[in-house]
């Protein structure tokens, strides 16, 4: 099991778990429908919502309930059961069996399909035990059918991967906008916690832009600008989709914080983390197209011993795609305090924030230079092939 570190001073062990699922939190499920509930149809391709006076929908649209489905003091605009029926067919269980008899269970979502094949998103740590032919990956669909899978590509820097099965014309999950999420928004998670397939849970966004580092070495660390939930998370949900209240994928469940020892398997304490979909979709697209992906590069080495506020630059790097900071005129010794308006408390937060952008994007970096003077730099990020 890996560990995750958020860069805060909290004295807890953070267990990296093969599973991350939104559970508990705000109750938006299984309520009593109020008198003002109306029937509507959600277009399976565009997610546009249309009124349904007859209470029925065409084959290209899914029937949902709009109104105040209430449970206690909480309400939701769309009944959870309707969303579950719409999303579940695009969610899969991933089973990995190694040649030495070991195995793990994770989750995934169908993100692309054609007449003969389907592509599935998941976490790198779900399938990495099978890399190099030392294991076998199988995918179980919502209807129980199982297919062997191959790895299309993976990116350990972001803990993301795409696998492929030889089965076409499958339902593809709808995609949402993780940048539009607000703290308190409802979330729904799908997957297989503790190998209990076809499990659905709900919760809320409890924080955004949470810097999370997973992994135990520099070669396997993943930096995540995470969506934090108050949800219960358990092994087996890693790679599964985290959706908004309309069933659109806004995150990929990846990790939890835990008070248990990192060497043992642990459950939720209400701190879960997901990779934002807006960050992941570029990685998925590049992997499907090229079998690999790229990461943005600022072109600096941070001083990991610096204990003050901010991220101190110890060294500038050079070479094609690796000299963005040099070109922007940022000197060694600069202490970065914010990136695109987001406060940077330490070097971990700086790396996570940089990784949230795409190569070639132009960002604003504020840093304190010699004498404590604050200066703003405009930086066009470089590019490097990701691990």
Domain tally, the chain: 3
Size of the chain, expressed as the number of residues it contains = 387
Residue 38: pLDDT band with limits 50, 70, 90: low
131 within a domain of the structure (yes/no) = yes
Catalytic option among 238, 268, 338, 386: 238
Give the whole-angstrom CA distance, residue 375 versus residue 372: 9
84 within a domain of the structure (yes/no) = no
Q: Are residues 260 and 116 in the same domain?
A: yes
Last residue of one domain, picked from the residues 292, 322, 351 = 292
Question: How do residues 286-317 score in pLDDT, each as one tens digit?
Answer: 999 999 999 999 999 999 999 999 999 999 99
Q: Are residues 277 and 313 in the same domain?
A: no
**Secondary structure class of 327 (helix, strand, coil):** helix
Q: Are residues 172 and 155 in the same domain?
A: yes
> Of 109, 97, 223, which Cα lies nearest the Cα of 159?
223
237 within a domain of the structure (yes/no) = yes
pLDDT higher at 321 or 268: 321
Residue 17: pLDDT band with limits 50, 70, 90: very low
Give yes or no for residue 350 having a pLDDT over 50.
Answer: yes
Residues above pLDDT 70, as percent of the chain: 78
The pLDDT, as a whole number, for residue 337 is 96
51 within a domain of the structure (yes/no) = yes
206 is catalytic: no
pLDDT higher at 219 or 275: 275
Last residue of one domain, picked from the residues 272, 292, 312 = 292
Q: Are residues 5 and 105 in the same domain?
A: yes
Q: Two tokens at 207?
A: 């924080």
Q: Are residues 233 and 300 in the same domain?
A: no
Q: Are residues 217 and 168 in the same domain?
A: yes
159 is catalytic: yes
Residue 202: CATH number of its domain: 2.40.10.120
Q: Are residues 16 and 120 in the same domain?
A: yes
pLDDT higher at 227 or 371: 227
Residue 343: CATH number of its domain: 2.30.42.10
Q: Are residues 314 and 173 in the same domain?
A: no
Catalytic option among 104, 155, 159, 244: 159
83 within a domain of the structure (yes/no) = no
Q: Are residues 171 and 270 in the same domain?
A: yes
> Of 200, 340, 291, 190, which Cα lies nearest the Cα of 250?
190
328 within a domain of the structure (yes/no) = yes
245 within a domain of the structure (yes/no) = yes
Q: Are residues 17 and 150 in the same domain?
A: yes
pTM: 0.76
The pLDDT, as a whole number, for residue 300 is 94
Q: Are residues 172 and 232 in the same domain?
A: yes
230 is catalytic: no
Last residue of one domain, picked from the residues 78, 112, 146 = 78
The pLDDT, as a whole number, for residue 165 is 97
Supply the range of the domain harboring residue 262. 1-25+89-292
Q: Are residues 3 and 115 in the same domain?
A: yes
Cβ atoms 122, 106 nearer than 8 A: yes
Catalytic option among 79, 104, 125, 192: 125
CA 347, 352, 354, 355 torsion: positive or negative? Answer: positive
Question: How do residues 179-191 score in pLDDT, each as one tens digit?
Answer: 999 999 888 888 7
One-letter-per-residue 3-state SS of 205-267: EEEEEEEEEECCCCCCCEEEEEEEECCCCCCCCCCCEEECCCCCEEEEEEEECCCCCCCCCCC
């Amino acid at each position: 099991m890996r560990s995750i570190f958020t860069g805060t001073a909290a004295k807890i062990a953070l267990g990296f778990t093969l599973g991350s699922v939104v559970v508990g939190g705000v109750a938006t499920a299984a309520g009593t429908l109020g008198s003002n509930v109306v029937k509507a149809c959600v277009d399976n391709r565009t997610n546009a919502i249309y009124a349904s006076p007859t209470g029925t929908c065409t084959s290209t649209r899914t029937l949902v309930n709009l109104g105040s489905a209430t449970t206690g003091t909480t309400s939701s605009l769309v009944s959870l059961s309707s969303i579950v029926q719409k999303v579940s067919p695009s969610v899969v269980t991933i089973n990995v069996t190694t040649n030495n008899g070991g195995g793990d269970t994770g989750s995934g979502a169908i993100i692309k399909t054609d007449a003969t094949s389907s592509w599935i998103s998941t976490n790198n740590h779900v399938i990495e035990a099978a890399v190099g032919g030392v294991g076998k990956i199988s995918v179980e669909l919502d209807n129980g059918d199982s297919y062997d899978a191959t790895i299309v590509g993976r990116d350990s820097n972001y803990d993301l991967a795409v696998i492929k099965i030889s089965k076409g014309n499958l339902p593809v999950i709808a995609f949402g906008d993780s940048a539009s999420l607000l703290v308190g928004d409802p979330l729904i998670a799908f997957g297989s916690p503790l190998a209990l397939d076809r499990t659905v849970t709900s919760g809320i966004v409890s924080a955004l832009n949470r810097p999370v580092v997973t992994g135990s070495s520099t070669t396997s660390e993943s930096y995540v600008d995470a969506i934090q939930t108050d949800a219960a998370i358990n092994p087996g949900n890693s790679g599964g989709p985290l959706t908004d209240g309309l069933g659109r994928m806004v995150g990929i469940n990846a990790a939890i914080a835990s008070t248990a020892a990192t060497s043992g398997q642990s459950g939720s304490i209400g701190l879960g983390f997901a990779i934002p979909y807006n960050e992941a979709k570029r990685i998925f697209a590049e992997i499907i197209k090229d079998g690999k992906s790229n990461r943005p590069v600022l072109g600096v080495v941070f001083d990991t011993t610096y204990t003050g506020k901010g991220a101190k630059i110890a060294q500038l790097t050079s070479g094609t795609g690796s000299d963005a900071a040099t070109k922007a005129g940022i000197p060694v010794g600069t202490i970065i305090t914010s990136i695109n308006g987001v406060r940077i408390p330490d070097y971990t937060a700086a790396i996570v924030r940089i990784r949230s952008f795409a190569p070639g994007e132009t960002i604003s970096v504020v840093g304190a230079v010699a004498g404590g003077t604050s200066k703003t730099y405009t930086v066009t990020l470089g590019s490097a092939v990701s691990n």
